[in-house]
Amino acid sequence: MKKVISTALLIIVILLSGCAAPSRYSWNNYDGVLYQHYKNPAENDAFIENLKGIVQAAEASGNVPPGIYAEYGFALYEKGQYNEAMIFYQKEYDKWPESRVLMKKMMSNTNMRIEKTGQKQSEGNPVKQ
C-alpha cells in the first residue's frame, strides 16, 4: 500500500511540475550572460554586445524585463558612453516606475559626468527628470 501511495505522489509531482507558467518577460539567457561577465570581467565588450542583443530581443517581443535597460545603461556608462547610457536609464525610468528613484540618481550622476568630461548631451535625447 505504501508503494502505491508513494508512486501516486511521485506521478502527481511530476505532472504538476510540467504545469509551470512560462516566464512573463524575455530574459534571453541574461543569467548566462551575467554569469560569464562575472567569470571574465575583462571581456566587457562581449558583455555589452550580449546585453545589446538581449535588449533588442526583449523590445522586439514587447516583454522587456525589469532592470535590463538599467544594466545595459550602466555597462555603457562604465565604457564612457554617457549619452547612450542616459537613453537606457530614461527607458528604465519610463518603463518601470519602481526604479524611478534609482534612475533619477543615475541620470543625475551621468549628467555630472557629462559636464565634467565636457561632452555635449545629445540633442535627440531630452532627458526627463
Domains identified in the chain and CATH numbers: 26-117 (1.25.40.10)
Query: pLDDT at position 16, please?
Result: 62
- What proportions of the chain, in percent to the nearest 5, are helix, strand and coil? 70, 0, 30
Query: pLDDT at position 19, please?
Result: 60
**Chain segment 85-98, per-residue pLDDT in tens:** 999 999 999 999 99
pTM above 0.85, yes or no: no
Q: Which residues are within 8 A (CB) of 89 and not within 5 positions of it... i.e. 6 or more apart?
A: 69, 70, 73, 103, 106, 107, 110, 127
Angle between helices 68-78 and 100-117 (to 10 degrees): 20
**Is 12's pLDDT higher than 90?**
no
- Confidence band of 106 (pLDDT split at 50, 70, 90): very high
- Confidence band of 18 (pLDDT split at 50, 70, 90): low
- Confidence band of 14 (pLDDT split at 50, 70, 90): low
Q: Say which residue, 76 or 12, is predicted with more confidence.
A: 76
Percent of the chain with pLDDT over 90: 61
Q: Say which residue, 16 or 93, is predicted with more confidence.
A: 93
**Is 64's pLDDT higher than 60?**
yes
Query: pLDDT at position 123, please?
Result: 56
